[in-house]
Structure 1
Amino acid sequence: MTDWLLALVPTWGVWLMALATFFSCLALPVPCSVLMLTAGGFAAAGDLDLGALLMGSLAGAVAGDQTGYRLGRLGGQPLLARLARNPTRAALLDRAARLMETRGAPGIFFTRWLFAPVGPYANFTAGALGWSWTRFTLWGVLGEAVWVGLYCGLGYGFAGNIQAATDYAGSLLGILAGLAAMGAAAWWLVNSLRQERAKG
């Protein structure tokens, strides 16, 4: 399926990316990261317009997030229970709920790009739990902008060398995940010290 989709990139470009990011944000198995890297490479070669590619990919991702949120809002807890019948989905739903509980609204931001496999389930969960639409949308759009910009930008920067761009993206995300963990640990430590001082 991946090879077939990659072959469509130069022909359908922006429309393909909008549809791919849309369906990916609804938990369908679409290889969006590879498609964005490839499309970025075609943009570097002058076959696609980079601005249109970024906007189309972002529009599809945001529309997918909004659809997932709305489905969660309409389906509520019964939808989450139905999704959780599958053990893999149950684990992703649980991780999404924990991220949103511990990180709050920034958890939505991080599930767009740093913890991307959790993203669609965070959409359903946010809707089912009645999260503020404005807060969900703000953090979601910011996160999707990072995701789209990172992958299309790397594809553009590496001029279509997908393997090199993929390796670099993996390393970069690993570093960012480490920094995020260090930041969270530092925040927890500072908070704990403040509470201790307040008690004393």
Structure 2
Amino acid sequence: MTDWLLALVPQYGLWLLAATTFLSCLALPFPASILMLTAGGFVAAGDLALAPTLAAAAGGGIAGDQLGYWAGRSFGTRLLTQLRRDPGRDRLLAKAVAIMDRRGTSAVFLTRWLFSPLGPWVNLTAGSTGYGWPRFTTAGVAGEAVWAGIYVGAGYAFAGNVEAASQMLGSVLGVVAGASAVLILGYWLYSSQRTGV
């Protein structure tokens, strides 16, 4: 499917990019990151303009986040009960609930780009738990802007060499995620020691 979608970029460009990021934010298996890298390559080649490309990538993601949030708000308990029947989804949803309880705004922001597999589940969880829409939207827009900027920017910087850009981003984001985990664990240990837990 990835090759088929990539072949459509020159013809449908921004609409395809927005639709792909929208669908990926609904937990559907669409290669949004690869498409954003490719779009960045088209920007470098002069076939697409940078600002509309970033807007399409982020806009699709924001729309997908909003749909997930409002689905959670409208169908929350019933939908979560059905999704939790699958053990894999149940684990992701349990993590999403725990994150929202502790760090809602940070969770929404970071799951747009750094921990993106959790993003759709955080959207549903935020809606179903009644997390404030203004805070959700602000954090979501900021996170989607970072996501689009990183991937479109990397595609632009690598001038369309999707494989090299993908490998570089995987390495960099892996280091950032690892460093974040170390900082969070350090903070938790420090807090536990101070409170005597």
Q: For 1:92 and 1:193, how far apart are their aligned partners in 2?
A: 29
Pairwise CA distance, 1:37: 0.5
2:74 corresponding residue in structure 1: 74
Structure 1 residues 11-90: aligned runs within 5 Å: 11-90=11-90
Q: For 2:99 and 2:149, how far apart are their aligned partners in 1?
A: 23
Q: For 2:145 and 2:72, how far apart are their aligned partners in 1?
A: 22
Structure 1 residue 108 corresponds to structure 2 residue 79: no
**TM-score normalized by the length of structure 2:** 0.94
Pairwise CA distance, 1:10: 1.4
Q: Secondary structure at the match of 2:17?
A: helix
Q: For 1:181 and 1:139, how far apart are their aligned partners in 2?
A: 20
1:137 corresponding residue in structure 2: 137
Aligned length: 197
Structure 1 residue 153 corresponds to structure 2 residue 172: no
Q: Secondary structure at the match of 1:104?
A: helix
Q: For 1:158 and 1:81, how far apart are their aligned partners in 2?
A: 43
Instruction: Tell me the alpha carbon deviations over residues 74-128 of structure 1, each in whole angstroms, 9 at most, x when there is no partner.
Output: 0021110011122222222112112222333201111111111110111011101
2:126 corresponding residue in structure 1: 126
Q: Secondary structure at the match of 1:47?
A: coil
2:5 corresponding residue in structure 1: 5
Q: For 2:193 and 2:89, how far apart are their aligned partners in 1?
A: 37
Q: Aligned-residue CA RMSD in angstroms?
A: 1.5
**TM-score normalized by the length of structure 1:** 0.93
Instruction: Tell me the alpha carbon deviations over residues 25-67 of structure 1, each in whole angstroms, 9 at most, x when there is no partner.
Output: 1111111011011111111000111111001111111011001
Question: Percent identity over the alignment?
Answer: 55
1:170 corresponding residue in structure 2: 170
Which deviates the most, 81-90 or 172-181? 81-90
Q: For 1:11 and 1:182, how far apart are their aligned partners in 2?
A: 44
Q: For 2:5 and 2:109, how far apart are their aligned partners in 1?
A: 27
Q: For 2:191 and 2:139, how far apart are their aligned partners in 1?
A: 24
1:97 corresponding residue in structure 2: 97
Instruction: Tell me the alpha carbon deviations over residues 155-175 of structure 1, each in whole angstroms, 9 at most, x when there is no partner.
Output: 010001111001001001111
Q: Spell out structure 1 runs of 4+ moving beyond 4 A.
A: none
Alignment gaps of 5+ in structure 2 = none
Q: For 2:71 and 2:24, how far apart are their aligned partners in 1?
A: 15
Which deviates the most, 65-74 or 107-116? 107-116
